[in-house]
Structure 1
């Protein structure tokens, strides 16, 4: 990597589950990170969690052995992103919120800086409508935990230019990540396949067909799913899953995307999964 790339930080917007995981991925690859959130308490929690994630990644041999972790800076000011090499937006899965954040960022960064929306299903071209330079926007879908999974779904919008694509692919190479580029659409590939399955798994529990443990055991033991759909849902965050499903349902009208009552009830009760300490499973302590 060139020295200027090492010195120029990658900005991550949003100190939630995905923002922290992406920040840990970048830091573990030896690049500096500026992490932005409006909530100072969330940033303080993120600093502690990211250190644990880096430790976990080292234990799993998921970090390049020849690189010193980058420096993390946290901020509540969007102006701190002005010199970023790239900006990865990882806020909640609401189109209006993402568009507002991306517009604010576009006003302070260089016109050549790639704006990368980490979305699980909102079409990139819809988000680009709000931007002064739609060519700057491209999508990624990092999987959780981002610091362990080396494949990234990349979504090129119809107005994304070659310089933005090159900027993102160069960054992913520096992160030791492989990219699969897909066409812009509702939910892309992974969410359109995965999220209805998670919805159905939750529905089976709600209908008392099987327990969460039994659903996951069958999917792991019989069908080769790595962790089971309901542990996966807890890892994603049940509120995030509901938001993503709702966005897909709104855009397609397909009933398989309509969040089931079991998921909605969990979210109403504050049982959001691993990050809250309880979802379909009890984790004891919130992240």
Structure 2
């Protein structure tokens, strides 16, 4: 199937990044959110990214301008009636995503594929609220989207081979590397990453080492570009806790039990970089 017009729902950091790479791939893109101010903030971030690319010689000004001309703002979900493909990047909440996919199923043309950028929620369950489960799939982009090459492409129980092939082609057109993953809690990336972060938090919780020491060990000893606790702060400790709970509930193994210190920080509002404090303090 040929994809020409794509809608991204959610103009936050992930959604705006997805919109940018889709427009850079030559697609007409609708960037949608509940309020125009949210969309404008997302577009401002895209313009900043493109200006940086121009200043560093990665793009010409003409290329940057062409990307922006392929993007339109949207605050009406009914605009989805004109698109071939939708990617949602809204909050990680099954009830909210379920309601959104029900609406999209009613609004979108019958050929349209519905994709979720969820980092942990089951694609099969999301697909079950629609009448087109064979056209529902997961596209888990990595942050920051314009830079990171990977897309985890998650097949739900009913996802068709044709849908997968279309998404694989679209991912490559966006300059990404698609990796096929089946629908299990946390998929591959977060099933491996989050327990490592959780164990790093246990090291602090049990007094094994300070956050700085834990991160230094992993950077210098394991050649990680960023320590697990600094990474947790960047992801958001509330998001880390949520994914650990999905893993614990979905797989039923005590090894996925969230560290009590992680719960304490989230209850205190210490969510990492976005709140100004997590395992580190941010200006």
Single out whichever of 131-140 and 13-22 deviates more from structure 2: 13-22
> Equivalent residue of 1:214, what SS?
helix
Partner of 2:67: 69
Partner of 2:210: 211
**Post-superposition CA distance 1:92-114 (Å, at most 9, x none):** 22222211111111211112111
Distance in 2 of aligned mates of 1:142 and 1:154: 9
Partner of 1:179: 178
Equivalence map 1:1-287=2 (5 Å): 8-56=4-52, 67=63, 68-70=66-68, 71-284=70-283
- For the aligned residue pairs, the C-alpha RMSD in angstroms reads 2.5
> Equivalent residue of 1:82, what SS?
helix
**Post-superposition CA distance 1:188-228 (Å, at most 9, x none):** 11111111111111222233332222211111110122212
Q: Which runs of 5+ in 1 are unaligned?
A: none
> How many residue pairs are counted as aligned between the two chains?
279
Distance in 2 of aligned mates of 1:112 and 1:277: 44
Structure 1 residue 36 displacement after superposition:
1.8
**What's the TM-score once normalised by structure 1's chain length?**
0.87
**What's the TM-score once normalised by structure 2's chain length?**
0.88
Distance in 2 of aligned mates of 1:55 and 1:266: 36
- The structure-2 alpha-carbon separation of the partners of 1:247 and 1:75, relative to structure 1 and needing over 3 Å to count, comes to same
Q: Which runs of 5+ in 2 are unaligned?
A: none
Structure 1 residue 58 displacement after superposition:
5.5
> Equivalent residue of 1:12, what SS?
strand
Distance in 2 of aligned mates of 1:166 and 1:208: 49
**Post-superposition CA distance 1:121-142 (Å, at most 9, x none):** 2221121111111111011211
- The structure-2 alpha-carbon separation of the partners of 1:64 and 1:84, relative to structure 1 and needing over 3 Å to count, comes to farther
Single out whichever of 63-72 and 197-206 deviates more from structure 2: 63-72
Structure 1 residue 64 displacement after superposition:
9.8
**Post-superposition CA distance 1:45-96 (Å, at most 9, x none):** 2222232333455667777999432433232210112222311111122222
> Equivalent residue of 1:176, what SS?
coil
**Post-superposition CA distance 1:3-30 (Å, at most 9, x none):** x85xx43211122332232223223434
Hey, which of these two has a bigger chunk of helix by percent? 2
Aligned partners of 1:113 and 1:164 also within 8 Å? no
- The structure-2 alpha-carbon separation of the partners of 1:258 and 1:42, relative to structure 1 and needing over 3 Å to count, comes to farther
- The structure-2 alpha-carbon separation of the partners of 1:266 and 1:181, relative to structure 1 and needing over 3 Å to count, comes to same
Distance in 2 of aligned mates of 1:202 and 1:106: 41
Distance in 1 of aligned mates of 2:270 and 2:26: 35
- The structure-2 alpha-carbon separation of the partners of 1:279 and 1:252, relative to structure 1 and needing over 3 Å to count, comes to same
- The structure-2 alpha-carbon separation of the partners of 1:149 and 1:61, relative to structure 1 and needing over 3 Å to count, comes to farther
The higher radius of gyration belongs to 2
